[in-house]
Amino acid sequence: LAVPFFIFAGELIGRGGIAVRLVRWFVAMFGAIRGSLAYVTVASCELFGAMSGSSPATVAAIGRLMYPALRERGYDEKFSLGLVTSTGAIATVIPPSILMIIYGASAEQSVAKLFIGGIVPGLLIGAVMAIYIAWYASRATLQVTEPFQWRTFGRATVDATWALGVPLIILGGIYTGIFTPTEAAGIAAVYGILAGALIYGDIGPRDIWQIAVNSALVTAQLMIIVAASGVFSWILTISGVPAFLTDTIQALDAPRWGVLLAVNILLIIVGCLIDPTSATLVLTPLLLPLVKTVGVDPIHFGIVLTVNLSMGMFTPPFGLNIFMAQSLFGASTSRLYPGLVPFIGAQLVALALITYIPELSLWLTRLI
């Protein structure tokens, strides 16, 4: 139930005026910093991802707002397309992540712990992308936004107060134990209706109905994938594929870092070819026992798997974010792919850090 509720909440947040106010708040915060609009894009995706948990929804909501603004301010097309397409994938890692919910169910792990474990890795990915943005901004000729002004920032903060309450309610309620992830998803949906319809007045009953219909269609598509993945997993199991995979990696007689490297390479390849939901459902029962034998914590592995498959959202040829960007901006693959290359490189750096420094994923789970 958490999945359809978070999908519905993400649609409400994207169309109910909350996303617009979040972007305005970040623009007012960053002021005239060189490359500020690119930083705003990353920060907005981080915060929007903390509300929706859906990567394509983040690309749709933030991309619609930021891509035209980036182009107007002098950012070239390749960079702008690559930025909005790749940063939407942060929503797959930053909690509440739909992919983590699916992994938690498949691996029988605590979803709340996975959410907590995903906070630092999600922020780290954004930080690595920000480093690349700083390098790009130092070399490009860009128009800057208005200088920081306390008055403007104060007005933007007041306007965004209800929008900023969404992640606080969702994550705060889960981590303090007030409600479960499923209950948090339902509360987020109700909050999205109240904020969009009653407080901001950006949506009406007809809009809410249409959002519900769209969310139901997306949920149906996702659940069909889940059902088909179960059948596919069963076929693979009786065909001996799990045993072959496990035996192949074990035959390498590699240390833990080698096993993790082999698993990462496998997940990156799979992520390029199969949607993340199917990959999670099929590969979790195969790989989790293997990594456990070399001492990898299941929560840490869940974060590593999620980060790997989040890259699949914007890597050719079947990245869902790529299809979303093509639909939104009318961009051909020949225009999209070159801009994605540096962001794929940045995420690979973040993936290496997350893989080989387990404490990035685990230290917060030990504090709570």
Q: pLDDT, tens digit, for every residue of 219-266?
A: 787 677 667 766 776 776 677 766 677 677 777 777 888 889 989 998
Residue 99 neighbours by CB distance under 10 Å: 27
CB neighbours of residue 78 within 10 Å: 17
What is the spatial distance between Cα 132 and Cα 267, in angstroms, rounded to a whole number? 24
CB atoms within 10 A of CB 295: 9
pTM above threshold 0.85? no
Which segments in the chain show pLDDT lower than 70?
A: 2, 16, 31-32, 52, 142-146, 222, 225-226, 229-230, 233, 236-237, 241-243, 246, 368
For residue 354, what pLDDT is reported? 95
Residues 6+ apart with CB under 8 A from 242: 236, 285, 286
**Cα–Cα distance for residue pair 54/57, rounded to 1 Å:** 5
Which two structure tokens, joined as six digits, stand for 227? 């059902």
For the chain, the helix, strand and coil percentages under 3-state DSSP, each to the nearest 5 = 80, 0, 20
What is the model's pLDDT at position 347?
Answer: 93
Which residues have a Cβ under 8 Å from the Cβ of 86 and sit 6 or more positions away?
Answer: 129, 314, 321, 340, 343, 344, 347
pLDDT at 57: 75
